[in-house]
Amino acid sequence: MTTDSSPQTIEELLVGRDDVMILGDPSVRCTDALPLRDAGPGCVTLIDASARANLVIRCGAVAVVTATPIETLHCTQIVTKDIHGVFTHLVKAFRPRGHDSLAYSAIHPSAQIDPTASIGSGTRIDSGVTVGPGVVIGCNCHLMPGVVVMEHSRLGDDCTIFPNVVIYEHTRIADRVRVHAGSILGGHGFGYRQVHGRHVPTAQLGYVDIEADVEIGANVTIDRGTYGVTRIGEGTKIDNLVMIAHNCHIGRHNLICSQVGIAGSCQTGDYVVLAGQVGLADHVTLGDHAVVGAQAGVMENLAGDQTYLGSPATSQRDQMQIMAVQRRLPELRREVKTLRRELGNLRQPATDSSESAEASELGDSGPVASEMPSGGDETASGLGGERRSNADAVDTEEDSREQPRCLPFRRPAA
């Protein structure tokens, strides 16, 4: 990316900075300030490790911000302990942000401000902004185009509301809050009850309370409480595309990454981290300093000071063991098949020996039967004959059942 501003010297860019030491030519001209991956010829860039010095040479940057001097670099070096602070200063010099500091306070003629609303000094309201009755906006705020602030909402000092944000009625926003484009604060919660087989919305009479120093990303939705408050704690940072349902209480200094979904009446402690696409079931509580890994599904309360992974979410230790076993499943399956085959081979000789033992027992019973008295012989022969006749009858019946019956053919009469 290149800027429209004319090249500036390192000396001009660092006027007023007494926390830097320039090694090399301070009059070298720079066309842009870009990170190392994007930098090209004429740029000033940033390096946080001397091992990456070869990348600076390869990109052709004319100057570099570094924490310590690097002997292998022959370009101008800006040595400072606060490398990120100095580089931020350089980037802003090439790409200034109008909303970082209000150059003036004004209300655009196209803005619709209710007469009962109160606007603090130094506040700037851009075109197309709508401010409802009873709204109170603090000092040095900036409401960008298309913002809607509904009745009886309150904004503290030094707030920045980006374009097309909608703030529903009775929402409370403390000092130094930033809400990025397209976010909706205070919308109705997803609550219904069945009446005569139809879904009827429940009461949505609560509000949203955003405490100081919170930053809310783009296209975030935070629903109002059913009767009470949905609260976002002080210093919490919320990424883009996050959904926070009604009656939730988010603790202080949480980090909530993109596409997280938090169901109703959840509560998080302080310094909780929810990675991307985490989902929380309703009425779940997370302890202080809990960390939930990406795409985890939280179905029950989790204690603090631990890291959780997976769905359903379990402790990192347990989840690692589960993952290790899952990776071995194909191998374990092969082992089970091999063991079953070997077990079958072991059972086969045992079966053969049992059959031979039964045969020998039957052979031994022959002489014993021959020693029976004559009366016994007659009886045995009579029983044997009766059994044979019954067996023959059964065989005959089965044969007749199996063989199809043939009907004689008769020539029809002429």
| SS3 of residue 265 by DSSP | coil
Strand partners for 291 = 273, 307
pLDDT for res 369: 45
pLDDT for res 115: 95
Are 90 and 44 in contact by the 8 Å Cβ rule? The answer is yes
Spatial separation of the C-alpha atoms in residues 232 and 226, rounded to whole Å: 16
Active site residue 74: no
Sign (positive/negative) of CA torsion 353, 358, 361, 362?
negative
The catalytic residue among 142, 170, 246, 249 is 246
* Regions of the chain short of the pLDDT cut 70: 1-5, 98-104, 350-414
pLDDT for res 98: 65
| SS3 of residue 307 by DSSP | strand
pLDDT for res 381: 46
- Copy the structure tokens of residue 72: 């292998």
Spatial separation of the C-alpha atoms in residues 148 and 217, rounded to whole Å: 17
Beta-carbon contacts of residue 232 (< 8 Å; ≥ 6 apart): 208, 209, 210, 211, 214, 216, 222, 238, 244, 250
* Homologous superfamily (CATH) for 8-94: MurE/MurF, N-terminal domain (3.40.1390.10)
pLDDT for res 2: 47
Rounded to 10°, the helix 329-370/316-327 angle is 60
Q: What is the CATH code for 165-322?
A: 2.160.10.10
Q: Report residue 267: phi and psi, to 5°.
A: -140, 130
pLDDT for res 104: 62
pLDDT for res 368: 46
Rg (alpha carbons) of the chain, rounded to whole number: 42
The H or E element containing residue 120 is none
Are 22 and 10 in contact by the 8 Å Cβ rule? The answer is yes
Are 201 and 238 in contact by the 8 Å Cβ rule? The answer is no
pLDDT for res 345: 87
One-letter amino acid at 179 equals V
CATH 3.40.1390.10: which residues of the chain?
A: 8-94
Are 60 and 41 in contact by the 8 Å Cβ rule? The answer is yes
| SS3 of residue 214 by DSSP | coil
Spatial separation of the C-alpha atoms in residues 262 and 231, rounded to whole Å: 13
pLDDT for res 360: 67
Are 65 and 47 in contact by the 8 Å Cβ rule? The answer is yes
Spatial separation of the C-alpha atoms in residues 161 and 102, rounded to whole Å: 13
| SS3 of residue 295 by DSSP | coil
Strand partners for 64 = 45, 77
